[in-house]
């Protein structure tokens, strides 16, 4: 399946599911609507239906005319390998969110930064990596705390101020 | 009148006032350049300090912070593709590619010159057109507002990316996302979790959509790992480059001044609108999005051009045009001044001082911008593999600092993934963002118009102004389709 066709299908499916399934369940109509005011689901439904129609047009355009190639620059890795990297990013983001209540924002930030640096393929510059991953979150926490009085969530290392 | 003006100049030109304005501009530029810190935040934080100041210096401090932060947003937009403010999002579209080409210095200089000119023109418009523009803005009711915003959306959708259809799809995504949360009559929409009842904040959506995909691209595609980070490179904007962008700068300044004067529109919409117009009318329109100086000029002149103009409805009618001028309204009240038509009669001396101080702050913006450029130039020497995780770190802490909400941090990360998916599918992000920002106002005006007309949707095209906007929408769609057909034909001719 070519990229333009896949794109058209995804767009149509997203807006169709929103219009047909999500709006009836997650946009409740109040029992009383003042005057002639349109109900709350009117606007999202209009946008979702318009989006679905646009998706069908994108799909039709992809099927009817030969679209130019849409290359994406990469390092030559296989699609599976790139998908694994993306899964790694998603897992790191999820782990960060799960780690904050346990280890605190600063420590979770350190772990996420270190993970991200290593995932970019950076293996040299050890001092800079350590400074950025450990010193960066600490410096930012101190800055925002002193400038705005922000209280970042603390966790296991609460006695140390993190 | 001349005597009044000379007295006001004398009153403004004190060391104390100049230092206050310089500090405000400088502080604003730095705040604007830090992702997650906004002009609203700077103005709000400075408000308590103004309690102990005289009326005019206190307002000048807040105005200087506002102007400085609006320009400051372009610094991070250009150097690390992280718009410090929503109004700098368009600047990132061309500024970052220029930075990657080793022309960050040029991009920053063009942003500065355009901002200063836009700001100056805006101040002049405030001086000369405050009253007439405010009266015009008053005539714009909900149907006209709706059509104006629809026109702005269509323009942005038409000029972003290579396809009008995909631009409109992107705008539809943004409009839908903007409906999350409580609507104007208290119903909760798509509130899957209690946090979503308040809706999605602009900052995490904006920063997630623009800044994080760069990091994800670097990790997943690894196309740039060998490439060094952007260098400041050529610093100066040549005379030819400046003259080539002058038309867009002046047009952007005018667009900013007019749109800024309409309550609810603000610098972000002005920047997108001006960018779209410059791309449509420029000889280099094809190069927009790939590193075109004129794109930066259009965006920056309009967003700073709107700054002074947002003071027009505030001073002339007592109506704040956006959140920042809302805070300023509070500052006026605290100082015992009530903005509105009477202010021009009862406090003319203060008004003259304020207007002259705003003109002076345009000049100060130039010097603060130059100094900040040197300060931030070291950013350009950091390798991508360290810079992009640093950007993530800044975003995480900045977003948490705004609202102390882990939900906003989660939105930031999710929007980063959404931005990456949109990049893979070639769906432009600019229409998404502008639709997300304008969405609530667009819907509110549409629903108000229909409610006022007792349920008749035809009210949206019932006045000469709405007909004018409808005609403009059709015109924009027609020329965009024509441009796409021409491009297709050219490609076919090249292939054969």
Residues 134-153 of A with CB under 8 A from B: 136-137, 140-141, 144, 148, 150-153
Band the pLDDT of B226: cuts 50, 70, 90: very low
B207 half-sphere exposure, CB direction, 13 A CA radius: 34
SS3 of residue B189 by DSSP: strand
CA distance B399 to B269: 22
Contacts of A15 in chain B (CB under 8 A): 172, 176
Q: Do the beta carbons of residue B27 and residue B61 sit within 8 Å?
A: no
Q: What are phi and psi of B182, to 5 degrees?
A: -80, 130
Q: What is the rounded radius of gyration, in angstroms, for the C-alpha atoms of chain A?
A: 24
Q: Domain residues of chain A, as ranges?
A: 3-64, 79-160
B350 Cβ contact list (under 8 Å, min separation 6): B55, B56, B337, B343
- Written as one string, the DSSP assignment of B403-418 is H--HHHHHHHHHHHHH
Specify the residue for token string 């930031």.
B412
- Beta strands of B379-461 (E only): which ranges? none
Between chain A and chain B, how many beta carbons pairs sit less than 8 Å apart?
185
Q: Do the beta carbons of residue A45 and residue B175 sit within 8 Å?
A: no
B204 Cβ contact list (under 8 Å, min separation 6): B399, B408, B409, B411, B412, B415
User: 10 Å Cβ neighbour count for A108?
Assistant: 24
Report the pLDDT value the prediction gives residue B323, as an integer from 0 to 100. 66
3-state helix, strand, coil in chain B (%, to 5): 80, 0, 20
3-state helix, strand, coil in chain A (%, to 5): 70, 0, 30
> A27-69 pLDDT, tens per residue?
888 877 777 778 889 999 999 999 999 999 999 988 887 666 7
CA distance B241 to A114: 42
Nearest to A37 by CA among B462, B459, B183, B447: B447
Band the pLDDT of A97: cuts 50, 70, 90: very high
Band the pLDDT of B227: cuts 50, 70, 90: very low
CA distance A64 to B161: 21
Per the DSSP assignment, residues forming a β-bridge with A104 are: A154
Q: Do B188 and A28 count as a contact with CB atoms less than 8 A apart?
A: yes
Band the pLDDT of B224: cuts 50, 70, 90: low
Mean pLDDT of B79-83: 79
Locate the chain B residue with the closest alpha carbon to A73: B223
Q: Which of B177, B226, B396, B420 to mutate to test the interface with A (most CBs of A within 10 A)?
A: B396
Nearest to B69 by CA among B122, B95, B33: B33
Locate the chain B residue with the closest alpha carbon to A4: B425
* Token reading at B409: 């941090």
Poorest-pLDDT segment among A147-161, B254-268, B373-387, B461-475: B373-387
Q: Domain residues of chain B, as ranges?
A: 2-495
B414 Cβ contact list (under 8 Å, min separation 6): B208
| The CA-based dihedral angle spanning residues A73, A76, A80, A82, taken in that order and rounded to the nearest 10 degrees | -50
Q: Do B222 and A136 count as a contact with CB atoms less than 8 A apart?
A: no
Q: Do A40 and B165 count as a contact with CB atoms less than 8 A apart?
A: no
User: CB burial class (10 A; 0-12, 13-18, 19+) of residue B329?
Assistant: middle
Poorest-pLDDT segment among A68-77, B172-181, B210-219: A68-77
Specify the residue for token string 């960066």.
A136
Q: Do the beta carbons of residue B198 and residue B189 sit within 8 Å?
A: no
Of A29, A85, A100, the CB nearest to B220: A85
Report the pLDDT value the prediction gives residue B110, as an integer from 0 to 100. 92
Q: Do the beta carbons of residue A5 and residue A59 sit within 8 Å?
A: yes
Poorest-pLDDT segment among A56-65, B15-24, B109-118, B229-238: B229-238
Q: What is the DSSP letter of A104?
A: B
Q: How close A62 gets to chain B, by Cα (Å)? A: 11
Q: With the C-alpha atoms ordered B392, B397, B403, B404, is the resulting torsion angle positive or negative?
A: positive
Contacts of A51 in chain B (CB under 8 A): 169, 172-173, 176
Q: What is the largest CA-CA distance in chain B?
A: 74
CA distance B320 to B310: 7
Q: What are phi and psi of B82, to 5 degrees?
A: -125, 95
Q: Which of B422, B425, B451, B456 to mutate to test the interface with A (most CBs of A within 10 A)?
A: B425
Nearest to B215 by CA among A81, A95, A115: A115
Q: Do the beta carbons of residue B410 and residue A145 sit within 8 Å?
A: no
Q: Which of A85, A89, A97 to mutate to test the interface with B (most CBs of B within 10 A)?
A: A89
pLDDT exceeds 70 at position B1? no
- Beta strands of chain A (E only): which ranges? none
Contacts of A141 in chain B (CB under 8 A): 397
> A125-139 pLDDT, tens per residue?
889 899 999 999 999
Residues in chain B: 496
Query: How many separate helices (H) and strands (E) can be counted in chain A?
Result: 7, 0
ipTM over 0.90: yes
Q: Do the beta carbons of residue B31 and residue B72 sit within 8 Å?
A: yes
Q: Do B176 and A18 count as a contact with CB atoms less than 8 A apart?
A: yes
CA distance B56 to B463: 41
> B132-164 pLDDT, tens per residue?
665 666 677 888 888 877 887 887 777 666 788
> B354-408 pLDDT, tens per residue?
888 888 888 888 888 888 777 776 665 667 788 788 888 888 888 888 788 999 9
Directed axis angle between helix A105-119 and helix B212-220, to 10°? 40
Report the pLDDT value the prediction gives residue B377, as an integer from 0 to 100. 63
Per the DSSP assignment, residues forming a β-bridge with B182 are: B188
Report the pLDDT value the prediction gives residue A147, as an integer from 0 to 100. 75
Nearest to B399 by CA among B213, B240, B208: B208
Report the pLDDT value the prediction gives residue B353, as an integer from 0 to 100. 83
Residues 92-111 of A with CB under 8 A from B: 93, 96-97, 100, 105, 109
Report the pLDDT value the prediction gives residue B410, as an integer from 0 to 100. 95
């Amino acid at each position: 399946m070519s990229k333009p066709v896949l794109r058209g299908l995804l767009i149509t499916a997203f807006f169709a599911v929103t219009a047909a399934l999500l709006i009836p369940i997650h946009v409740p109509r109040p029992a009383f609507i003042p005057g002639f005011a349109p109900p709350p689901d009117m606007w999202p439904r209009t946008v979702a239906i318009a989006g679905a129609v646009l998706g069908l047009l994108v799909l039709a355009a992809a099927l009817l005319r030969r679209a130019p190639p849409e290359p994406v620059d990469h390092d030559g890795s296989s699609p599976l390998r790139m998908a694994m990297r993306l899964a790694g990013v998603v897992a790191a983001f999820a782990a960060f969110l799960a780690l904050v209540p346990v280890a605190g924002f600063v420590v979770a930030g350190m772990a996420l930064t270190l993970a991200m640096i290593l995932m970019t393929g950076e293996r040299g510059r050890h001092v800079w990596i350590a400074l950025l991953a450990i010193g960066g979150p600490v410096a930012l926490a101190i800055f925002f705390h002193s400038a705005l009085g922000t209280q970042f969530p603390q966790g296991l290392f609460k006695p140390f101020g993190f | 009148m001349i005597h009044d003006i000379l007295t006001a100049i004398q009153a403004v030109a004190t060391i104390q006032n100049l230092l206050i304005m310089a500090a405000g501009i400088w502080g604003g530029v730095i705040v604007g350049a830090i992702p997650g810190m906004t002009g609203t935040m700077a103005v709000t934080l400075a408000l308590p300090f103004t309690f102990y100041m005289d009326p005019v210096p206190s307002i000048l401090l807040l105005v200087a912070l506002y102007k400085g932060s609006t320009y400051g947003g372009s610094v991070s937009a250009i150097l690390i593709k992280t718009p410090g403010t929503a109004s700098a999002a368009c600047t990132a579209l061309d500024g970052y590619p220029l930075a990657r080409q080793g022309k960050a210095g040029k991009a920053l200089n063009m942003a500065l010159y355009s901002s200063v000119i836009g700001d100056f023109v805006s101040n002049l418009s405030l001086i000369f057109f405050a009253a007439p523009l405010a009266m015009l803005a008053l005539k714009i009711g909900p149907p006209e507002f709706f059509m104006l915003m629809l026109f702005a959306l269509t323009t942005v959708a038409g000029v972003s990316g290579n396809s009008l259809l995909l631009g409109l799809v992107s705008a539809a995504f943004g409009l839908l996302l903007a409906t999350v949360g409580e609507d104007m009559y208290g119903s909760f929409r798509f509130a899957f979790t209690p946090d979503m009842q308040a809706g999605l904040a602009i900052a995490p959506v904006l920063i997630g959509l623009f800044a994080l995909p760069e990091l994800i691209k670097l990790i997943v595609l690894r196309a740039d790992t060998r490439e060094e980070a952007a260098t400041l490179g050529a610093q100066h904007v040549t005379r030819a480059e400046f003259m080539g962008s002058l038309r867009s700068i002046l047009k952007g300044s005018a667009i900013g001044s007019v749109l800024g004067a309409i309550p609810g529109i603000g610098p972000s919409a002005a920047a997108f609108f001006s960018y779209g117009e410059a791309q449509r009318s420029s000889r280099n329109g094809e190069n927009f999005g790939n590193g075109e100086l004129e794109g930066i000029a259009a965006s920056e002149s309009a967003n700073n051009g709107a700054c002074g103009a947002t003071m027009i409805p505030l001073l002339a009618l007592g109506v704040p045009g956006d959140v920042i001028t809302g805070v300023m309204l509070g500052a006026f009240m605290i100082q015992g001044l009530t903005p509105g038509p009477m202010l021009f009669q009862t406090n003319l001396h203060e008004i003259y001082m304020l207007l002259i101080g705003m003109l002076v702050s345009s000049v100060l913006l130039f010097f603060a911008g130059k100094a900040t450029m040197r300060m931030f130039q070291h950013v350009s020497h950091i390798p991508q593999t360290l810079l992009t995780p640093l950007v993530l770190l800044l975003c995480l802490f900045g977003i948490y600092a705004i609202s102390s909400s882990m939900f906003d941090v989660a939105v930031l990360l999710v929007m980063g993934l959404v931005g990456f998916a949109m990049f893979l599918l070639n769906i432009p992000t600019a229409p998404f963002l502008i639709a997300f920002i304008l969405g609530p106002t667009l819907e509110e005006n549409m629903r108000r118009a229909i409610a006022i007309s007792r349920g008749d949707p035809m009210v949206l095209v019932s006045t000469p102004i709405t007909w004018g906007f409808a005609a403009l929408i059709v015109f924009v769609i027609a020329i965009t389709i024509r441009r796409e057909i021409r491009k297709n034909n050219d490609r076919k001719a090249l292939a054969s």
